[in-house]
Amino acid sequence: MSKFKNRFGPDILRTHWMLYFKSLRKILYKKISKVGKNVDIRPFVTIVGTQNVEIGDNVVLRPYTSIYADNDEGKKVIIGNDVLLAPNVYMIVNNHNYNDINLNISEQGYTYKDIIIKDGAWIGYGAVILPGVTIGKHAIVAAGSVVTKDVEDYTVVGGVPAKLIKKLDT
């Protein structure tokens, strides 16, 4: 079980079945660096690198959401308070390096960057959040978007790659 110390998800049956029972979820939450009040992680969620994940208050991680934050550099996925996450959202803090054309990409290592989702943001179904991205306060990411750059506070973005759709009235 030690190789699964900092992860849980449907591929690890011992942890996955615990997500079906609210009373047992609290055991898994202890693996996560920070978990706020009223957090609900549903079955079929995968978190790899739990020590690098922080989740604020009133957040639900819906089925098939995947968070990959496994690294030794301390790069994190930080989810603020009152964030809405639709199912099937994907977040990853690393990307392959590809600077040397004489080496296979798999031999060139990785670059790691934080992902920050600020309070009140809404991430739509199937969105992909790439390394180094900050999603602004009360921002909306449309379903199916691939977010490669920061999203300003109070804006709506969508598409592949995600682009500004409109600014919200504040």
**Catalytic center residues:** 96
For the chain, the C-alpha Rg in angstroms (whole number) is: 16
Q: Work out whether strand 155-158 and strand 140-141 pair parallel, antiparallel, or are unpaired.
A: parallel
What's the rounded Cα separation, in Å, for the pair 16 and 145? 27
Beta bridge partners of 53: 77
Question: Counting Cβ atoms within 10 Å, is residue 89 exposed (0-12), middle (13-18) or buried (19+)?
Answer: buried
Question: Counting Cβ atoms within 10 Å, is residue 93 exposed (0-12), middle (13-18) or buried (19+)?
Answer: buried
Q: Work out whether strand 155-158 and strand 163-167 pair parallel, antiparallel, or are unpaired.
A: antiparallel
